[in-house]
Amino acid sequence: MSRLEFNGLLPVWLLVPLSLVGMAFVWWWYYRESRFARAPLNWILPTLRAAALGGILWMLAGPAWVREWVSGELSRIAVLVDTSASMELKESQTAQNMSAQDSRLERATRWLSSSSDKQAGWLDQQRSRFHLRLFPFSDAADTQGESIAQSIWDSTVERSTKPTRVEFNANGSKTAIGEALASVLRSGNSGESLDSGEPSTAPEKPYAAVVLLSDGQSNSGESPSTVAQRFAQASIPVFAIGFGREAEPDDVGILAVEHSQSMFRADSFQGTATIKQQLPAGRQYRIDIRSNGQIVWSKSLESDGTPSRRIEYRIAGEKLFAAQQSALRSKAIPLDLQFEVVYEGQDASAQNDRFESSLWGVIRKNRVLVMDRRGRWESRYIKNAFGRDTAWDLKSILGPDEVESNPFPKTREELIGLDLIIMAADSLSAMNETQLRWVSDYVADLGGGLILIDSGRDKPLSVLGNKEVDWLPIAILEDETAPLTLTNLNLEPAAVEQRAFAFEQDTGENRRLWEAFPAPRSARRVRSAPGAEVMVSGKTENEQYPMIVTRRSGQGRVVYLANDETWRWRYNVADLYHQRFWNQLAQWSMQPPYAVENDYVGLDAGERVYDFGKQISIRARLRNAQQEPMSGVRAIAVIEQNGVRVQSLPLVEESEGSGMVSGLATGLLAGRYQVRLEVPGMPTEALDLETEFIVHPPQDLEMEVLASNREVLEQIAKTTGGKYYDESQADRVNESLQALRTGKIEQSRTLLWQSYPWFLAVMTLLALEWYLRKRAGFI
């Protein structure tokens, strides 16, 4: 391999314009005299003089002709540099030298790089002895399956004699030492390039050794000890150079925050925060919680010598609710929170000093109506259950006196503000045609929830067959009108995955619990209607009958109970199961409120905060100008971040004719996102609304422990037959590598500017110019 190099007093970039200007000036100065000579001597003479000057000036660049060849075969060495976030930690190299505040990665870079020709770095020192390849690494392999280590420098490609300077960015959120080593081993065994993972054109010699520069923090991917055993089998030693102090540096931060996803204004906001306090005992620091830039909670703490602790906080809801109200019909407003740790001393990392979170501030409770013309025990217990729950705004009409004094519904508008209606079946039968039409619109168009409670003691529903109530989920068995006596209740497969019917996490335990509930003494004989689902059935000695049946109608849901004896579940356990069941059933039956809505569109993105990697549920409700569900339209949820479209998610209609669409967004990185709708054909003003959600970053394992893990690096080196060196002893790795050397790069250098041909060329130009000048008569 041959190449031309310039190592003179002046750099090439300066010499090029300098020589051109000088040569042009000499040519012009000479031409003032030679222009009177005959052609072509009038321009040849100044050209020869200018060329001679150019040859003299270019001697200042120090041109040299370099030839290199390999004697033997160079051993391949992979140099792996840890570029995870922990390598960005600034600290002194030793406890005594507190003034040197270079990061671990900066010290590793300085050892590898050359600052000048006289102070060669490790790469330049060893490039003539080995075939070196440099790979930064941090996280495990990405979703496309690429290698985690991408080569940024190769000694056989970078052949310049200029000082080698490398740069790294410590931006990895995790450290995958095992994965990085495994990629080296795979490339050596398969003949693939470590950069791209594709087969190389010519088989390369396996790596003779690996030089690993790291602080030893391994928190992702394959176990380093497991990979080290494979290195030992392949006889590839790993020489580890450890960076960072082994003692944990002073660091305080917020690791995690836990709190509810929503709250009412009258509630107290409370939760826990996990604090990292890697500080000597007795050090003072403070935790602040801010909302809208104002501190709403603060507490001074004193470290107790433990590496972490959990603290509890409680804040009055009034402090968190913003004064402004949403112009749209919203059930809740976002309450953003900033958790911050304040420490006056030296803090190793500022990345974990702040933690952002958020929740929904509920400004409107769920509105439920409990209605029963006779005021049965079941209805009264249900009324008490919702009355004790602060999440519900209860209205009740129980008994003949209340029904007579307060008939319901008096107008269609009276239904609009309700989220859920729970009524006895005979109350529905007592309604006239107009009222039944209102209830039908309430369920199908407004998305309201309706729970009907029946029993075998009353007359069957007289409204069956009425065209206004074609949404009922059941039909009466005309030939079997006698009430049922059941032995037990059974949970049907359709209800297994429904939270409304879950009392135990284990499916088997939950089924057994339902079978153990007191069976109704009297129940209605019914069958499920087409399109309905049986959630709970009752068993007699010979047959099973539906007990809880549901059916979607437009945007709403209707649930039918064939008995009115769930109050018996309170026996010996009070509200343990009864109140929980009715709360869960009510939440499932009613349409979940949308974060933002107007007369045309309701839009919701589920929870206010999602953990990293969790699916985001996005749903919408679409209506036309007549407040009827829009069906068959193409709706797209546009997910944006800071005004930039990140994802376009097609929404699928949940059931035909419902106008309710939904979808699941995945693959979003940590950050704050906005969601809006695109619906062709819908007025622009109808789509002028958006909601928001936050994706929390994954757990920051990288910054939980900041001390150098010498034990891991020593284990890797010992298992593979290599050695471990502290960063202060890094140069000793050369002694260990010397035994692996199988070839070297030979080099010959010809200094052209000091050679006879260069001198003779310049002298020839001057002599020829002198001879022609004489022929022209200028001498």
Domain ranges of the chain: 2-67+749-775, 74-243+707-741, 251-361, 366-589, 596-695
pLDDT higher than 60, residue 656: yes
The pLDDT score that the predictor gives to residue 779 is 65
Q: 251-361: which CATH topology?
A: Immunoglobulin-like (2.60.40)
Q: Which CATH superfamily is domain 366-589 in?
A: Class I glutamine amidotransferase (GATase) domain (3.40.50.880)
Kind and range of the H or E element at 603?
A: strand 601-604
Instruction: Give the confidence band of 98 by pLDDT, cuts at 50, 70, 90.
Output: very low
pLDDT higher than 70, residue 426: yes
Kind and range of the H or E element at 42?
A: helix 41-57
**What does each C-alpha distance from 770 to 31, 775, 776 come to in angstroms?**
15, 9, 10
Which residues have C-beta within 8 Å of that of residue 755, sequence separation ≥ 6?
A: none
Between 240 and 325, name the one with better pLDDT: 240
Could you read off the pLDDT of 679-689 as tens digits, one per residue? 988 888 888 88
Between 287 and 4, name the one with better pLDDT: 287
The pLDDT score that the predictor gives to residue 664 is 93
Could you read off the pLDDT of 497-508 as tens digits, one per residue? 888 999 988 889
Mean pLDDT calculated for residue range 137-146: 55
The pLDDT score that the predictor gives to residue 183 is 86
User: Residue 336 in contact with residue 293, Cβ under 8 Å?
Assistant: no
User: Residue 221 in contact with residue 743, Cβ under 8 Å?
Assistant: no
Instruction: Give the confidence band of 196 by pLDDT, cuts at 50, 70, 90.
Output: very low
Mean pLDDT calculated for residue range 72-98: 76
Q: What percent of the chain has pLDDT over 70?
A: 91
Average pLDDT taken over every residue of the chain: 85
What is the rounded distance in angstroms from the CA atom of residue 253 to the CA atom of residue 274?
9
The pLDDT score that the predictor gives to residue 190 is 46
Do 74-243+707-741 and 366-589 show the same overall fold?
yes
pTM of the predicted model, to two decimals? 0.63
User: Residue 751 in contact with residue 64, Cβ under 8 Å?
Assistant: yes
Mean pLDDT calculated for residue range 29-44: 85
The pLDDT score that the predictor gives to residue 343 is 92
Per-range mean pLDDT, top range of 156-165, 186-195, 632-641? 632-641
The pLDDT score that the predictor gives to residue 706 is 83
pLDDT higher than 70, residue 575: yes
The pLDDT score that the predictor gives to residue 197 is 44
Residue 16: which region, alpha, beta or left (left: phi > 0; alpha: psi -120 to 50)? alpha
What would the CATH number be for the domain defined by 596-695? 2.60.40.1930
Could you read off the pLDDT of 440-492 as tens digits, one per residue? 989 888 888 999 999 878 777 778 777 778 889 998 776 666 778 888 999 99
Cα angle vertex 621, ends 619, 625, to 5°?
160
The pLDDT score that the predictor gives to residue 623 is 85
Pairing of strands 366-372, 392-398: parallel
Number of H helices and number of E strands within the chain? Answer: 18, 36
The pLDDT score that the predictor gives to residue 7 is 79
What would the CATH number be for the domain defined by 74-243+707-741? 3.40.50.410
The pLDDT score that the predictor gives to residue 314 is 92
The pLDDT score that the predictor gives to residue 189 is 54
DSSP 171-233: -BSS--HHHHHHHHHHHHHHTB-TTT-SBPSSPPPPEEEEEEEE-----SSS-HHHHHHHHHH
Could you read off the pLDDT of 272-324 as tens digits, one per residue? 999 998 888 999 999 999 988 889 999 999 998 888 899 999 998 888 886 44
pLDDT higher than 90, residue 201: no
Instruction: Give the confidence band of 69 by pLDDT, cuts at 50, 70, 90.
Output: low
Mean pLDDT calculated for residue range 2-25: 85
